[in-house]
Amino acid sequence: MEVIYVKDYEEMSQKGFEQIKKVMETKESPVVSLNTGGTPKGLFQYLVEAINQGLDISDATIMSLDEYIGPKDAVYTVRNFMNQRLFNNIEQQPKHLFLMDGSTDDVESEIKRYKELLATYPRDIQLLGLGTNAHLGANEPGTPFDTTMFLAEHHESTIQSTMKEYGITREEAPTEMLTLGLKEITEAETVLLLVSGKHKAQAVKDLVEGEVTPDCPASVLRNCENAVVIVDEDAASLLTKE
């Protein structure tokens, strides 16, 4: 695991975008899997600007890390985020767009469908954010490292984060999510984790300096040579200084 320390959210977003851009420019048919939420908003802005200035994504495949269980048009869905922050704002669309269907009545069939897509389109890069309890995707503390795509139940801290991010009530907030498992996350050629803010500092400390344990899902990255973690000063504020 490589850790890159940056000053603030803006630099984290820029450095993260540069990793995505490199894949887009160097792979013949790049496969990029994105995540959503507060962390990647800045990266998405850089990506939109680059595409509209000529970054070629015509042979690219874009996938997603997860999807909330709920109506497709709900404010909190990954699909809605992707459309608002990316696809509605770019002049060129990717060759393939594969998102999960969180409105399905047949979760097992949807998991099977998406696993087949993962096998057909191996990811060149997987973008991630870090939960305050060190979750990746919807892999909450206690999730085994060998878990594959499944329907996850959110811990309360995750539900509260979703409420804050999307301005919704506890009753409106989703409590379940389709997510890639930790095994699938780490199988991408490059795993890119972005972390910003003091509210993530304890999770970063657990990731970088704590035990490698399912109690800290992100610690799975410690043994991954393909993992790149970009952390700003606030998120790194609890780390032991050398």
Annotation marks residue 223 as catalytic: no
CB atoms within 10 A of CB 209: 12
Annotation marks residue 140 as catalytic: yes
Annotation marks residue 133 as catalytic: yes
Whose structure tokens read 């908003």?
A: 41
Cα-trace Rg, the chain: 17
Annotation marks residue 80 as catalytic: no
Buried b (16+ CB within 10 A) or exposed e, 125-142: bbbbbbbbbbbbbbbbbe
Rounded to a whole number of angstroms, the distance between the first and last alpha carbons of the chain is 18
**Biggest CA-to-CA distance, the chain:** 52
* Cα angle, residue 203 at apex, residues 163 and 237 outer, rounded to 5°: 110
Q: How far apart are CA 78 and CA 158, in angstroms?
A: 15
The pair of structure tokens assigned to 89 is 């704002």
Q: Which of 140, 184, 206, 232 is catalytic?
A: 140
Beta strands in 7-55 (DSSP E): 31-34
**228 touches 193 (CB < 8 A):** yes
Q: Which of 35, 101, 133, 154 is catalytic?
A: 133
Q: Which of 101, 124, 135, 154 is catalytic?
A: 135
Catalytic residue numbers, as ranges: 66, 133, 135, 140
